[in-house]
Each structure stands twice: as structure tokens, then as C-alpha cells.
A and B are shown apart, each in its own frame.
Chain A
Amino acid sequence: MSDSPKTSVEMREVRLAFDEKEILTGVSLAVPALSRLVVLGQSGSGKSTLLRLILGLLKPNAGEVMFNGLNVTRMGRLRLNRMRQKIGMVYQYSALISSLSVRDNLALPLEELTSKPRGEIDQLVDEKLTMVGMADARDKMPAELSGGMRKRVGLARGIIMDPELILYDEPTAGLDPVISSVIDELIISLSEKIGATSIIVTHEMESAFKVATHMAMLYQGKIIAADTPEGFKASNDPVVAQFIAGDTQGPILQATTS
């Protein structure tokens, strides 16, 4: 746990509460650079909240969030905006700007944040759309696309600035198995092609084991286990074992119902 460049993101004893309801009760986590960390956890356990803390969209009540050795929790609005340009976020429901075409959605950060000429921007947009297999949808509006297509465009938008860190919020939730596999393979190939660290939040076990190089489990506001996928499969921890197996018998359901 150090600030060396080999750690991309680090959280130290992060606590967060909404209206007196504690969501995170002391999360500590280190994400090695160039790894693909999958954060597992039940729905509503605060997984997406972790991503928003890394982006500085939420401020923790206590603890520190570091990105590339810089303290995100202490950054002002303008510094945060500059830091966010190095991070790509892929939303669960894509969050494409509905009034802009696919091309304009992807071009938006390039036009707003860089001085690249129009020709180069178009070239980059085409390149990223081809990477996710959506080159044909260039001139369509988001409303004309299916859920899976929108997700792929969201992915392309997430990587348009060649980020150092890509955050995925439930990238395969609600998609059919084939499209899920396509997205999983995209996550792997994108992280390798761009050379980016990835943090993937999911509760879909199959895709989790497919993409992960590292895994962590968030349970009752804390990271209760952080290991390799193999380590997770062999885990003796009753919560981890129950979650991976999807058993109805075990500590998770007891804690929820009690």
C-alpha cells in the first residue's frame, strides 16, 4: 500500500453515509496499475458509489481516495475536472447525451477538452467505434439503438480520450449472454490495447471471472476480501463462497433478513 506509480487507485479507510445511512464503513483498497479489478457485491452494497468516489463526484465523510498518488478528496472543482480527463467512465445505462448523435457523443470530450482539428476528431471517433464494432451507428441517435448497442457506444465514449483508468458500472447487467460475452472480450482487449487500468463493478459471476486479473468483495460497507480470481474460487470465507456459488443458505441472506 504505497503511493508508488504502480498503484493506480488507492482508498484508505473511506467512510460514506447518506442521510445517516452508512453505505461505506471503512473501505481500504489498492488497485495495481494495468490490472483489471472486479469489485463484487450485492445490489445496493455501494459498488457504484466506489466509482463515484474515485471520480470525485462524491466526497467521503472520512478517509482518502488517491489516483496516481494524488489525493482526490482534497481537489477543487477545476483540478478535479482536469483529473477526470484521464479517467473513462462507462455507465450501467450508458448515459449517452440523448440530444446528440453517436458521432457527437463521442466527439464531445475531444471538441471540448482538446484542440484537435475536426478531421482528426472524426478519425478518432471512427477508430473507437470500429473497436467496439459500432462503425455503422455513427450517425444514429441514441434512442435508435438497442441496450447492447448503446452500451458499446458508451464503452467507445469511455475510451475516446485514451484514459489511464476505465471504470465500468455493471457493464453486462441486463444483456443477453452473447452480447455479455462480446462486452467482456471488449473490456479485456481495450485494457490491453490502450494500456489502461480497469475497475469493473458487477454481480455477474461468469463475466467477473472472465475479465478479472484481481478481485475484491464489498460486503456490509467494507472490502472483506481482495485476491486473484483463483484465490476467490478457493476462498474459505463463507460470504465470498456463498456469493460465488449463489447459494440461498449462508451468512448473506441471514444478514439481509435479520
Chain B
Amino acid sequence: MVLRMFGPWSAIRTSLQHLSSVVWLLVDTAQEMGDRVVRGRLPFRLSIFFEQTNRTGVGSIGLVSLVSFFIGLTMALLTGYQLQTFGQERLVPGLVAISFTRELGPLMTGIMVAARIGAAYTAELGTMVVSEEAEAIEAMGIGPLRFLAGPRILAVFLLLPCLVVISNFTAMGGAALISRWAFDTPIRLFFDTALESMLIRDIVAGTIKSFLFGLIIGLVSCYKGLSVRGGAAGVGAATTSSVVTAITIVIAFDTLSNIVLVALFDQ
């Protein structure tokens, strides 16, 4: 009995319950938005949507480019020094380009956006739930999912891939600069080599992941925010849980999609 209550089964059951709630959140939000569109109206206020895209996209450019620039730079420097011993430092551009477009760009951007935007969404919606604002919106028949969750989920879903592109370019920039200084690779040659070594499937894999991670972060943060219980402490706990959950799921899906993509295309 104790095992059933506290053991792995209870954890699995709780996780499955949360998973089904997140899926229902997506279905219900889509249904509420669809109902509006069928009635010839916009699914949500454009002003709210653009406010969210501005925060999520434009507001994150600084952080994403700075972090990506330094990671790209460090990666080129460390791998370059190792490869230099074998006289293979010309592999550095390809290595950085493929790693970022396919793996690190979406992953790092996902983690940064989950921490920066996912946390903000959860805290905002959680506070609205605690102060009964979310319930008031529901009680007026406005539909809180399409009004509150809809623009947020869509904003992060559409803007994360854009941020990934910025992340990829700044990382390449950092790598090109350090390669010029440390390994005497001309910047032009760096970018030419990088472009040559990349395949379409690397870019496609990165793009699919970016959209997927955006959706995960949007859904998890809105779900955690809208299911807050218990006042200010509840909002704090939900925000922490939102970031941890979103990052964990993003990494889990990253691994999963890598396995699937390698199995399907890289043989």
C-alpha cells in the first residue's frame, strides 16, 4: 500500500495526469479559438498577441545572442585546440555549424526562453488566477484559454524558431572571430566551409525542433500558471515547477527527436 502511494506508480500516474491536462489545454484552446474564427472574429486580440511576440521575440534577442555568441566562441576554441594537434582545425566551421543548427541552437534557445518567458507567463497567469481575474474572465463568457493562453502559446511557438536563427548566426559569428584569431582561418573561408558542410536535413531537423520546443514551453508555462493553487506561495512554486518541467521536457524531446531523426535519415 505504501509502495502504491509513494512509489514510482504514483509518480507515473501524476505525470500522466499532468500530460493529459496539458493535451486538453491545447485541445480546449484550439476549440475556443476555432469557435471564434468560425463566427468570423479574430481568435484573440491582436494587441495582446503582438505584445507577447514583442516580449518573447524582440525582448529575448539580447540574451539569446550573447549566450550563443560565447558558446559558439568557446566551442570553436576548445575543439580547435584539440583538432589542431592532428592538423584538422579546418573541421571547426562545419562542427560548429552542424552542432548549432541541429542541436545547440534549438536546445540553448529553448532553455533560455523557458527560463525567461515561460517563468513570466506562469507568474503572470498564476497571479491572475490567485486574484480571481482569470475566473472573472471565464465567468463573463470570454473564454480564458483563447484570451489568455492562446496569444502566449502562439507567440512562443512562432517566435522560438526566429530566435534559433539568431542564435545560430551569433554562435557562428563568435566561432568565426575566435578561429580568425586563434587558428588564422579567414572569416570568409570559415563561413564558406560551414555552409558547404551543412546539409538540408540539419536545417530541417533544427527547425522542427524549434517549433516543437516553442509549443512545449508555451503549453507547460500556461498550464502551470492556470492551475496555480494557494496564493503567493503557490505562484512561486508553480513558476519554479514551470521552468524545471519545461527545460526537462525540452531536453527529453531533444534526445527523443535526435534518436528518431538519426534512425530515419542518417544511415
Contacts and interface: CB of A to CB of B under 8 A. Distances in A.
Interface residues of B, number: 19
B235 to A, nearest CB: 14
Nearest to B41: A115
A95 B138 CA distance: 12
Contacts, number: 59
B184 interface: no
Interface stretch (B2-10, B61-69, B140-148): B140-148
A55 interface: yes
A227 to B, nearest CB: 29
B192 interface: no
Contacts of B21: none
Given A91-B132, A93-B132, A98-B133, A108 B140 contact: yes
A246 B262 CA distance: 75
A58 to B, nearest CB: 10
A80 B31 CA distance: 13
Contacts of B45: 112
Contact of B136 (A80, A81, A89): A89
B131 A95 contact: yes
A97 B139 CA distance: 13
A85 interface: yes
A109 interface: yes
A168 to B, nearest CB: 13
Interface in A25-74: 55, 57
Given A77-B31, A78-B31, A112-B147, A83 B141 contact: yes
Contacts of B135: 57, 95
Contacts of A78: 31-32, 35
A75 B128 CA distance: 25
A109 B142 contact: yes
A93 B231 CA distance: 14
A16 B28 CA distance: 24
A108 B141 contact: no
Contact of A77 (B32, B131, B132, B133): B32
B137 interface: yes
A112 B138 CA distance: 12
Given A77-B32, A78-B35, A84 B140 contact: yes
Interface in A158-185: 161
Nearest to A80: B141
Nearest to A81: B141
Contact of B141 (A84, A91, A96, A97): A84
Contacts of B131: 93, 95, 98
Contacts of B138: 57, 84
A78 B132 CA distance: 21
Contact of B142 (A55, A77, A108): A108
B51 to A, nearest CB: 10
Interface string B113-152: 0000000000000001001110111111111000100000
A125 interface: no
Contacts of B143: 77, 81
A57 B140 CA distance: 11
A109 B28 CA distance: 20
Interface of A: 55, 57, 77-78, 80-85, 87, 89, 91, 93, 95-98, 108-109, 112-113, 161
Given A89-B136, A108-B140, 8 more contacts: A77-B32, A78-B32, A81-B142, A85-B141, A95-B133, A97-B137, A109-B141, A113-B141
